[in-house]
Amino acid sequence: MTAIETENLHKKFLGVKAVDGVDLAVPEGAIYGFLGPNGAGKTTTIRMILGLLQPNKGKIRIFGEDLMRRRTKALKNVGVAFETPAHYEHLTGRENLDITRRLLGLDKSEIDRVLETVELTHVPNRLVRKYSLGMRHRLGLARALLGKPKLLVFDEPTNGLDPVGIREMREFITSLPERTGATVFVSSHHLAEMQQMASHVAVIHLGKIVFQGGMNDLRGLHASRLEIACVDEAAARAQLSGMGKRIERRGGKLAIELASNDGAEAEAAAVNRKLVEAGVDVHHLALAPWTLEELFLQVIGAPPRADDQADA
């Protein structure tokens, strides 16, 4: 079953298309990364999925329930944490959670459960205004976890956090499907973080989905590259060109894209053997998969970096 399914979703603001025919299929149990630059349509799409905005056209189903027809039932199993969590600063963490707990009609034991899950059991009675930013983010996650929702929606969960806080948040989110059984839908433009946590991704650009699939499917769009550093770069270029390789310069090294990911090691060995036999002293040779950032830029059609140079 899909946790979230949208069909031909459209939204306009003053005649401008913010979301243009978005079809999403979020597998149950996945950590699903929703990627796009600022202004791409991520937040508008999320607000429609949560029933906070009415689409101009299209359908939204959450665990098979039609959001427009059965809004309450569809959203019953959804927990949400936005980029900037809103808390009552003059209340403690526990008191903040208790307000939501009462609104949802949950048992008091839920508060202790979620505090333990987000590792805030040492500060539940501290006023929120005395919480660090990381603690505030985790309190927002705790509120989203109340009631054991089957779907968790996080919008830019690492924004504003320091490197330690980002790592902790990443590790926490990555553990959620196994610990809670929930599907996690994460909106972000932090590609390096998403590369380390998502099992599936969708890329939205100018309101349209330009890629959707498993993270391995995205990586499979391009074969790995082989990075080479040597003493005589001109001689290496001549040998590689003779092998029909397209050469780029990246980070002070030569780089060639291999024919496919299957047999990449054997192809790398053949390239190394060719260079050594030609008397080229190689001091660095390594397979270098495309980063999520590079794949993302290619998918949305962004130009290559200015320092990249390619030879036919």
Between 109-117 and 133-145, two packed helices, what is the crossing angle to 10 degrees?
Answer: 130
280 three-class SS: coil
Q: Both 247 and 214 in a single domain?
A: no
Residue 96 shares a structural domain with residue 24? yes
Confidence of residue 304 (pLDDT cuts 50, 70, 90): low
Residue 36 counted as domain residue: yes
In a domain, 175, yes or no: yes
Do 76 and 191 fall into the same domain?
yes
Residues 158 and 268 in one domain: no
Cα(133)–Cα(166) distance, integer angstroms = 11
- Looking at the structure, do residues 202 and 229 belong to the same domain, yes or no? no
Give pTM, 2 decimals.
0.81
Least confident of 229-238, 239-248, 300-309: 300-309
CATH number at residue 278: 3.30.70
Would residue 308 count as lying in a domain?
no
CA distance 200 to 183: 11
Digit-coded pLDDT (tens) for 21-46:
999 999 999 999 999 888 889 999 99
Residue 241 and residue 266 in one domain: yes
Q: Kindly report, residue by residue over 151-198, the tens digit of the pLDDT.
A: 999 988 888 788 888 888 889 899 999 988 999 999 987 787 888 899
Q: What six digits make up the tokens of 138?
A: 């985790």
pLDDT, position 302: 67
Instruction: Please check whether residues 283 and 187 belong to one and the same domain.
Output: no
- Higher per-residue confidence, 60 vs 255: 60
Phi, psi torsion values for 230, nearest 5 degrees: -150, 170
Indicate if 161 and 194 belong to the same structural domain: yes
What CATH number is given to the structural domain containing 202?
3.40.50.300
Unique residue bearing structure tokens 């509120």: 143
Phi, psi of 27 (to 5 degrees): -65, 145
Answer whether 32's CB lies under 8 Å from 91's CB. no
Q: Are residues 39 and 92 in the same domain?
A: yes
Neighbouring C-beta atoms of residue 42, cutoff 10 Å: 21
What's the CA gap between 211 and 173, in Å, rounded? 23
Residue 276 has pLDDT above 90, yes or no: yes
Residue 297 belongs to some domain of the structure: no
For residues 263 and 208, state if they share a domain. Answer: no
167 vs 85: CA distance, rounded Å: 19
Query: Is residue 190 one of the residues assigned to a domain?
Result: yes
Q: Look up the domain containing 16 and give its range.
A: 2-218
Taking alpha carbons only, the member of 108, 180, 188, 126 closest to residue 151 is: 180
Q: What is the DSSP string of 131-162?
A: S-HHHHHHHHHHHHHTT--SEEEEESTTTT--
Query: In terms of domains, do 237 and 198 share one?
Result: no
Residue 309 lies in a domain: no
